[in-house]
Amino acid sequence: MLIKKPVAIKASEITPKAIYLKRRRFIQGGMGAALATVLQNNLMAAANSYSTTEELTSIKDITRYNNFYEFGTSKGAPGIHAGALTTHPWSITVSGACEHPGNYDLDDLIKAAEVEERIYRLRCVEAWSMVIPWQGVPLGKILKRFGPTSKARYVAFRTLVRPAEMPGQRRNILDWPYREGLRMDEAMHPLTLLATGLYGKDLPNQNGAPIRLVVPWKYGFKSIKSIVSIEFTENEPPTTWNQKGADEYGFYANVNPAVDHPRWSQKKERRIGDIFKRPTLPFNGYAEEVASLYAGMDLRKHY
């Protein structure tokens, strides 16, 4: 198991010291006072931190090697083009089977929740992976505010559409907007995060600013970026890559070395920065925490 249950460790031990000191200066400086207080209290206490002995992926690689087709199909395109994206102010539309639908300001949502720091491994379907120190809010804590009803069996997400600032959307690469979805129990699981930052800084545009999903036991395409819509649905919602190629990209997209992509093996992965590959772990190393969600399901059929 690469990443275990929450442990009490110092924030300075999670992040390299130089980055940690920069983070403290950042918190004390440019962030809003309310959010800074929440961040500082939580990061220093580190009661909700997740730990791993693995080396963190450098911020250079995290911000320069991305899948974000709204800015282009190459791994470097988001880092080149995403700077033009306007991320403030930002609001999220909430709809569907809930008691409190509406248009919510992102700053208000985040300030009302406790920001946590977690180290998660994010694995992409092309068999490469990173270890990233995220900051964010458990998705379940946000969803509870909207009062989902008994008909809310799934949660659907949608990415911003703004071709003037997202050049990839000027081409028919995908059917815009980008859509994703989770079953409610997946969405409410404590490992599922709405990320707002990494390495102690606001989330870079190319990594999904200002808010993105992180579901660490699934392939990276499930972790939708630049979210502008949350909808509670009774039926399984359509998702972009599943619609693009259902034989290659399932709705669940759980990391499973026993199920290969039609065009390559998923049995091994390459950590960004490494030369050699390593075995892929079921559920990306989170089987102890999440395997029970899929008890009785045929994971070759429900891939």
**Secondary structure (DSSP) of 166-197:** -GGGGTTSS-SSPEEEEEHHHHHSTT-EEEEE
Residue 53 has pLDDT above 80, yes or no: no
Per residue in 210-241, pLDDT (tens digit) is 999 999 999 999 999 999 999 999 999 999 99
pLDDT tens figures, 62-89: 999 999 999 999 999 999 999 999 999 9
Average pLDDT of the residues in 99-112: 94
119 or 13: which leads in pLDDT: 119
* Token pair belonging to 227: 């979210």
CATH class assigned to 59-290: alpha beta
Distance (Å, whole) CA 127 – CA 123: 7
Amino acid at 13: E
Average pLDDT over residues 182-192: 97
- C-alpha to C-alpha distance for 3 and 12, rounded to whole angstroms: 18
Mean per-residue pLDDT, 178-204? 97
Q: Can you give the pLDDT at residue 125?
A: 84
Q: At what angle do helices 33-45 and 17-28 cross, to 10 degrees?
A: 150
**Distance of CA 77 to CAs 55, 67, 121, 122, Å?**
26, 9, 22, 19
Q: What is the pTM of this model?
A: 0.84
Region 232-257: mean pLDDT is: 96
Answer whether residue 121 shows pLDDT above 80: yes
Average pLDDT, the chain: 86
**Contact predicate 216/275, CB 8 Å:** no
pLDDT at residue 238, rounded to an integer: 97
pLDDT score recorded for residue 169: 98
Q: Which two tokens stand for residue 225?
A: 């970026």
Count CA atoms within 13 Å of residue 299 on its CB side. Answer: 17
